[in-house]
Structure 1
Amino acid sequence: MVDKRYQVFISTSGQEMLPERSVLCQTLVGMGFFAWGLEQRTPLSTALARRQIDDCDYVIMLLGSHYGEQSMSGVSYMQLEYIYAVSKDKPIIVFVHSDPESRRDLLPKEPDIVQEKFHAFRKILLQEVEHIFYFRNTRELELTVRMNMSNMLIRYPAWGWVRPQNTQTLNNEIAALKEKIKGLETQLAQKAPDPLLSYPKITSQDTFECEYQLHAYQDGNFKELKLSRRMTWLDILQVLYSVFKNPTPEEYFAIRINDYLNETGLKDAQLQMLRAHAVARSQINFRVLQNIKQQLRQSDWIVPVGRDDRQRTLWKFTEKGLSLLDKMTANKASL
């Protein structure tokens, strides 16, 4: 196996967790991880935190007894980082103090309303995150990290970082996997029926129901909502254009559409939760996603064009699809 290193983004409430954060970072570095994160947050640092989350392999939330410094919206930077990590489907691990009340007398007091937000956020983490680990002191934290982080690598494999001298070993593994994939695809092609036979013809102005679910956040709590919006096929082409104007792996259909629903789903969520202030974890219905791909292919708007070096199927806009978008753009400009 190739010797890899993994990047971990660490999110804490701030100054109250400096001793625990120091132990966590030292432990992770000793295990071969790269530890990232921001100790001081400001509105200007939010973009940097998001870039680090985008590039990391895992996200660790280290929760003590405080809600932490709040953004202009009244939501703590730690909770905002959590929401963003969820929206990017990052593997999240939470290390939480088992008795936060025991630390109250040792730390600066937060206002009661802020403490209510802390308890609400703690409840969200305990309900929503699968991997929760408890500690009472820095020694227990170190032992808990050592016991559980290695299991995360097995549960959620990531690309990580490989030393240059190990690339030949990695290439050998890739070559072996490519051969295995070819064999499996040959078997699948012999069994799979043509999926295009059961799909009707469509036009760009025809509509379809885009069913999806997401987590909506209101008053420090979240609720999973099942939503639906009516879209035209032209709408979905415009959403996908930025990704598939060049050959791109098929998996980015779901990634781009889910990102779009994260960006625009708040209005849909507010029809059910009037005071919702943020949404995350948008997930398009699998059946709808398959219908989108097959209809676009049948209409010759976006089609498979080959495979990349990892044997992933690449899709790209056709000339017909590009011409349709150009025509619609020109029509809007003339109005």
Structure 2
Amino acid sequence: MAKKKLQIFISSTYIDLKEERQAAVEAILGSRHIPAGMELFKAGNTSQLETIKKWINESDLYMLILGGRYGSIEPILGKSYTQIEYEYALEKGIPVFAVVLDDSFLYRKAADKSYEVFEKDNKEKYNEFKEFVMTKIIKIVDDCKDIQIAIKDSIVELENDYPLCGWVRASEIEDSTKIIKENNRLLKENEKLKNQFAKIKEQDKLSKFGYEEIKRVLKKKTIKISGEYFDDKKDFNATYLEFFILYKNAFVTGITNRVGVSDFQSHIYHKICPLLISFGLLEINKVTGAVYRRIEMSKAGLEFMARLEIENNK
């Protein structure tokens, strides 16, 4: 598998941290990643700031090198460009880490350099910004070698903690032609199986409902018939499915509501048949020349019974 190269945006003040930024660039390149920012940008105007934001958007990680200077102030927001970049990266959810120069490091620099190392004009803003940075992921460094070690360690830690996209050379990516063809074949096969399943499901329907669906409901619903209808005076308990099977012949012949039928047959007609009618297993037919009606097994009911017989005799 090709190793991803991460684009890492380096942010810092400019003149006072040239050496430290160069050390950071070398550390990133040494880790086989891509540095961005550097001397390509100098704080100055809105168009440059917008360009920097685009680079931050395209980067996988954002790294701040914080020395003793606050940096140039953006006139509208009243913050340094460095702080604006840092807060923008946080706002966009880009993993951020900072290397903070130790005071001893800064004092050594101040003794050797002709330029200002410590903030004078905006000290309060610098202190507030540094205090905020110190609440995030940081490593305090004492020299340029420390910077390189801190950067390499931070990259490894962030790679483990975040799902970073990174960049991969096109030549290192496996040929996806075969994968695309296989994916298209599987999509077609899946569509074919879906159509077959839809046909099977349609064939399973007896009326408005499927065979398995009706059987499941009839197995769950129970019937209790008083023993007063039987010689032994014992109550009769069964599921609707058991009752339908037990009295299938009566349903084929027909259950009527004519005057003079037994109390038990009347109970079946008025209390039990309605549910079986609702599933399409029974149907009501008017008897020619008679005032009564007959409930008998429907075509769907006959098919349902036949499938039950086939299952029970497997």
Q: TM-score, normalised by structure 2?
A: 0.51
Aligned to 2:148: 142
Q: Distance in 1 between matches of 2:91 and 2:67?
A: 23
Aligned AA (2:55): Q
State the match for 1:117 in structure 2.
125
1:147-182 per-residue CA deviation (whole Å, 9 max, x = no partner) reads 332221111121111122332289999999xx9xxx
Asked whether the equivalents of residues 9 and 52 of structure 1 are also in contact (C-alpha less than 8 Å), the reply is yes
AA partner of residue 78 (structure 1): T
Distance 1:82 1:41 in 2: 14
Q: How does 1:61-100 map to 2 (within 5 A)?
A: 61-72=64-75, 73-99=77-103
Higher share of residues assigned strand: 1
SS class of match (2:124): helix
Following TM superposition, by how much is the alpha carbon of 1:90 offset from its aligned partner in structure 2, in angstroms? 0.4
Determine which structure has more spread, i.e. the larger CA radius of gyration: 2
Aligned to 1:21: 21
**Alignment gaps of 5+ in structure 1:** 180-335
Q: Is the 8 A contact 2:100 2:139 kept in 1?
A: yes
SS in 2 for 1:5: coil
Contact 1:38 1:49 in 2 (8 A): no
Shift in CA distance, 25/167, structure 1 to aligned 2, threshold 3 Å: same
Q: Give a deviation string over 1:221-248, Cα, whole Å, max 9, x none.
A: xxxxxxxxxxxxxxxxxxxxxxxxxxxx
Q: Hey, what's the Cα distance between the residues in 2 that align with 1:173 and 1:122? A: 50
Contact kept in structure 2, 1:14 and 1:69, CA below 8 Å: no
SS in structure 1 of the partner of residue 140 of structure 2 = strand
The question of whether the paired residues in 1 share the 8 Å contact of 2:66 and 2:99 is answered with yes
Report SS of the residue matched to 1:2: coil
Q: Deviations over 1:214-272 (max 9, x none)?
A: xxxxxxxxxxxxxxxxxxxxxxxxxxxxxxxxxxxxxxxxxxxxxxxxxxxxxxxxxxx
Confirm whether residue 108 of structure 1 aligns to residue 112 of structure 2: no
**1:56-83, Cα deviation, whole Å (9 max, x unpaired):** 0000011011001111132100000011
Query: Among the aligned pairs, what percent are the same residue?
Result: 23
Report how far residue 110 of structure 1 moved.
6.1
Q: How far apart, in 2, do the equivalents of 1:173 and 1:63 lie? A: 47
The equivalent residue for 1:30 is 30
Using the alignment, how far apart are the partners of 1:116 and 1:55 within structure 2?
32
Distance 1:29 1:38, change over 3 A: closer
Segments ≥4 residues shifted beyond 3 Å: 103-107, 109-113, 169-176
SS of structure 2 residue aligned to 1:108: coil
Q: CA RMSD in A?
A: 2.7
Aligned mates of 1:162, 1:112 — CA distance in 2:
44
Moved more, 7-16 or 97-106: 97-106
Bigger RCO of structures 1 and 2 (CA < 8 A, at least 6 apart): 1
Shift of 1:113: 4.5
Residues 4 and 160, structure 1, Cα contact 8 Å, conserved in 2: yes
For residues 102 and 118 of structure 2, the distance between their equivalents in structure 1, rounded to whole angstroms, comes to: 19
TM-score (norm 1): 0.48
Q: What CA distance in whole angstroms lies between the structure 2 residues aligned with 1:133 and 1:53?
A: 21
Q: What is the CA-CA distance between 1:137 and the residue it aligns to?
A: 0.9
Contact 1:2/1:170, CA 8 A, preserved across alignment: no
Question: Does the 8 Å CA contact 1:11/1:61 hold for their aligned counterparts?
Answer: yes
Q: Separation in 2 of the partners of 1:120 and 1:171?
A: 54
Letter in 2 for 1:123: E
Aligned length: 175
1:13-37 CA-to-partner distances (Å, cap 9, x unmatched) read 1110100000100110111111111
Q: Unaligned 5+ residue runs, structure 2?
A: 187-314
Quickly say closer, same or farther: Cα 1:111–1:11, change in 2 above 3 A: closer
Distance change (3 Å), C-alpha of 1:119 and 1:104: farther
Give the match for residue 239 of structure 1. none
Q: Which residue of 2 aligns with 1:160?
A: 166
